[in-house]
Amino acid sequence: MSRTHVILALIVLPGVLGAQSATSLQQAINSIKPADIQRRIGILADDSMLGRATPSPQLEQTAAYVASEFRRFGLRPGGDSGTYFQRYPIALRQLDTSRSTLTIAAPAGTTTLHLGVDVYLPFRPSPTAIAAAPVLLFTGPGDTLAPLAGADVKGAWIAIIAAAEAAGVTLNDPAIPAALRAGAAGVLVISNRPDAQWQNRLQRLRTPAVSLGGEAEEATPQPALVEIRDATAARALGIDPARLRGQTTRGVRRLEGVTLAYAPAYAAGRSTSAPNTIGILEGSDPQLKRQYVFFTGHMDHIGTPGAGEGCQPRGADSICNGADDDASGTVAVLEAARAFSQLEPRPKRSLVFMTVSGEERGLWGSTWFSEHPTIPLADAVADLNTDMVGRNWKDTIVVIGKEHSDLGATLNRVARTHPELRMQPIDDLWPQESFYTRSDHYNFARKGVPILFFFNGTHADYHQVSDSPDKIDGEKESRIVKLIFYLGLEVANAPQRPQWNPDSYKRIVQRTAP
């Protein structure tokens, strides 16, 4: 960037005017380099990191690396007990497959099926026991406008006829989430998985299931989602899954006289923990330094097939490296931290740089932080979250949440002020995917903190062994980080904190209709 561009930025952005010197601002921007981004992602997504599953020794190694960089940048620790780490509890439970059963009672007789032999759990940790409940059979393609086709599923199981592909069974029937929201007891998936794929899935049940422990552990009964194959369904339920799989219109019918009961059993449980890593750059204004701008990204990924997070081997490769998801976001946090640490004077508000873990397990690390914050969330003015920012379009980045607060207008203004970045922030392209609730910014938003989520979208390598460092566009990511830097500086120096759109605040924070 030329010195002229820097001076123009200082003139145009009132929040920056008179704060940082042009020399230190240029030095900070110039420190964000494509080669450094590429190098850091190569470290975090190397095969030796085994995909950074939560929990794992490699995740601990990643957290230690991030903390060492925060220390090198001069950030003060923002974790527990004067450290850079906040640890949260994880409960490990080993399913006893010999004693865990799914019982199907039908007019022709009762069939007792065993987990790990006849029954698979697509998602774990395992749900709680479920007493005998009726079954509604859904056939044909799903309808997003009327996913339950008018059926009352509360307290009942729904049965879905699913088809297996080379990568497995895709559970994208809109009836599944709709039924669970409506109070269904559980979901019975009936699939045509081939033998090799079925045995591969059953093997996963022999590794411990993990869940977020402590106060945040879910205490209410959980619905079941279990899977059986065609032959088992034909024998126990008296249906023809192969024929039903060919239906072209949605149908729903109750299986008369049929009930399902689920009874899991576990070996003695144990516990472990996982880290978030937090560093703070204290602000320069005596009053505003008590307010905080957060920069977040998740440092975990889905590991290897043995980690139980869904990584699938492909040929000889069995490591889901997670270069874009989310080594790219973690490195964005690191690069922003390094750049901000070079400013003289520092921004007026304090800045918090945090890499969380457990995102792939269900936003565990940010959930724990939001319930046990080491920095008061009432004093957090914004969260700028980066999750997958190293791929796809060269000169645009999707920024989710722009419409919910005036952070969106601020971002658009900053982007216009810096045409040299050639980076256009665009609105959410996939509202039907609910990405707003699927990364760590959401735990800030539901606590009342305005957010922006920087996201380049998914791709063919998403959650695959092929999400590798060589596919990262470090030059593109460097421009995204620079945009986030300028935005963060504007927010940190502004006289007023960002403001919610009132309707969005009611819907997201207060959880009431606008």
What does the pLDDT profile of the chain (514 residues) look like in tens digits?
343 343 334 444 444 434 788 999 999 999 999 999 999 999 999 999 999 999 999 999 999 999 999 999 999 999 999 999 999 999 887 888 889 999 999 999 999 999 999 999 887 656 678 999 999 999 999 888 889 999 999 999 999 999 998 878 888 888 998 898 899 999 999 999 999 999 988 888 877 778 887 644 444 456 789 999 999 999 999 999 999 999 999 999 999 999 999 999 888 778 899 999 999 999 999 999 999 999 999 999 999 988 878 898 999 999 999 999 999 999 999 999 999 999 999 999 999 999 999 999 989 999 999 999 999 999 999 999 999 999 999 999 999 999 999 999 999 999 999 999 999 999 999 988 889 999 999 999 999 999 999 999 999 999 999 999 999 999 999 999 999 999 999 999 999 999 999 999 999 999 875 5
Give the pLDDT of residue 9: 43
Residues with Cβ within 8 Å of 395's Cβ and at least 6 positions away in sequence, in order, are 422, 423, 424, 476
Max Cα distance, the chain (Å): 83
Which CATH number describes the domain made up of 101-263? 3.50.30.30
Give the pLDDT of residue 126: 61
Cα–Cα dist 128/263, whole Å: 8
3-90+271-509 and 101-263, same CATH topology: no
Q: Where is 490: in which H helix or E strand?
A: helix 474-493
Give strand pairing partners of 277: 85, 355
CA distances from 371 to 210, 217, 260, 271, 322 (A): 19, 12, 36, 20, 27
Q: At what angle do helices 328-340 and 22-30 cross, to 10 degrees?
A: 160
The 3-state DSSP class for residue 220 equals coil
Q: At what angle do helices 474-493 and 328-340 cross, to 10 degrees?
A: 50
- Residue at token pair 């509604």: 136
Cα–Cα dist 338/350, whole Å: 14
Where along the chain do its domains lie?
A: 3-90+271-509, 101-263
CATH architecture classification, 3-90+271-509 = 3-Layer(aba) Sandwich (3.40)
Single out the residue of 15, 12, 20, 17 nearest to residue 496, CA to CA.
15
Strands 292-298 and 350-356: parallel
Give the pLDDT of residue 214: 62
Strands (E), 84-223: 85-93, 101-106, 109-114, 130-139, 157-161, 164-165, 168-169, 186-191, 209-212
CA 66, 71, 77, 78 dihedral sign is negative
Single out the residue of 188, 183, 189 nearest to residue 222, CA to CA.
183
Single out the residue of 284, 291, 343 nearest to residue 28, CA to CA.
343
Secondary-structure breakdown of the chain: helix, strand, coil percentages, each rounded to the nearest 5: 35, 25, 40
Give the pLDDT of residue 348: 97
Radius of gyration of the chain (CA): 25
* Neighbour count for residue 404 (Cβ, 10 Å): 21
Assess contact for 67 and 84: CB atoms under 8 A. Answer: yes
- Residue at token pair 């090799």: 196
pTM for the complete prediction? 0.79
Give the pLDDT of residue 125: 58
60, two tokens:
């601990």
